[in-house]
Amino acid sequence: MHDPIHLTEDLRLIRDQLRRFVAEAVVPHGEAWEANGMVPREVLREMGALGFLSMRHPEEHGGSGLGAMASLILAEELGRSTFGGFSATVLVHTDMASPHLVRYGNPAQKAKYLPAICRGEIITAVAVTEPGAGSDVAGLATRAVRDGEDYVLNGTKIFITNGVHGDLFFVAARTDPNVKGSRGISIFMVEKGAPGFSVGRRLDKHGWRCSDTAELVFTDCRVARANLLGDENRGFYAIMDNFQNERLVLSGMAVGEAGKALEITLSYLKERQAFGATLWDKQGIRQRLAMLSAQVEATRQLAYHVAWLDSEGQDCVAEVSMLKAMSAEVANRVLYDCVQFHGGMGYMRESTIERMSRDARILPIGGGATEVMLEEVAKRL
């Protein structure tokens, strides 16, 4: 397939470097990471040294100052690794958690944390979701009460990627109990090991096995006022602001996964013999794979168009919501059929396609459920 027209030569070089890194440093070791339930921190530090963790961050703090297109390329190439947990580990750090500091941090906060974040020495996580509040962020119950020069946090967060081994957490909490819904929410930076902050339990997931996911508990956790990010009671808007970037990279990951799954399956179909010929010789199978390829390519082109809109400063909430809904559903449709085309081998845990099918199932749920995305589109029709 042809490259999207928005790709510059510099972006192609970044893509090629990422593809080599994934092939050499990720794919040979991913199975071991799956068994251990985490991505080794030395791998993330290596990515930091190569500049892969800081492409969107300001140059004065060690980043490259690039735009949304770079995030999309990163997400797509990580998706092609076939290890969704690895992709999630990196993308939460680069595009879902640390951008809050870039956008809303003051100079002192940025100087303190951003250089180490860019180097992969501090790994970040975002703690918004709660047992009673997922896509409905306005339903947050975690409280932060002002006490002198501190805030005292109490509450529980769940499904937090990088929650076990992360170093710096961007935690959403309600700071004004007298208002309802989206108002009265603030964001705090909480460091690992802060008194009153603990990992309640490590969560056992259907897929994304090499990403560490946790329940976080805050019990009278004191956070210095200096760690309030942005303005008090304005955190909801910061969360919503970054959701567009989060949904873009999740879509890019979905496109990368789906495209790689089709490549793996095409290779298998051209080798697998059945009824005196290869499976690829069966017209029905060929045409189904062709249609899936068309759907993936259409989704990929939409993803790059959305990234371009974002880089141009355009309002693209409708388009990114369309993209998130479509990419997640297409990836799952692709993986379902790829398992079918592999037959019994596609159901075996030793199969790459089997693992990818489990990893893909979270895509219509995480970062905004498909149903929520479609409502965002419907509001704008």
Active-site positions read 246
Amino acid at 18: L
CA distances 287 to 15, 59, 269, 284, 290, Å, are: 30, 48, 12, 5, 5
3: how many CB neighbours lie within 10 A of its CB?
A: 10
Instruction: Return the bridge partners of 228, or none.
Output: 188
- Interior angle at CA 208, CA 23 and CA 133, nearest 5: 140
**Secondary structure letter of residue 140 according to DSSP:** -
Report residue 2 as tokens.
């042809």
Q: How far is CA 263 from CA 33, 110, 219, 352, in A?
A: 23, 42, 49, 12
What stretches of 203-234 show up as alpha helix (H) in DSSP? none
DSSP state of 35: H
Residue whose token pair is 């309802």: 180
Contact in structure between 253 and 90 (CB atoms under 8 Å)? no
User: Could you give the C-alpha distances from 160 to 35, 96, 203, 285, 296, in angstroms and in order?
Assistant: 19, 11, 9, 39, 29
Q: How far from 159 is each of 31, 156, 200, 227, 285, CA to CA, in Å?
A: 22, 10, 11, 23, 38
Helix, strand, coil % over all residues of the chain, rounded to 5: 55, 15, 30
Closest among 304, 292, 284 to 263, alpha carbons compared: 292
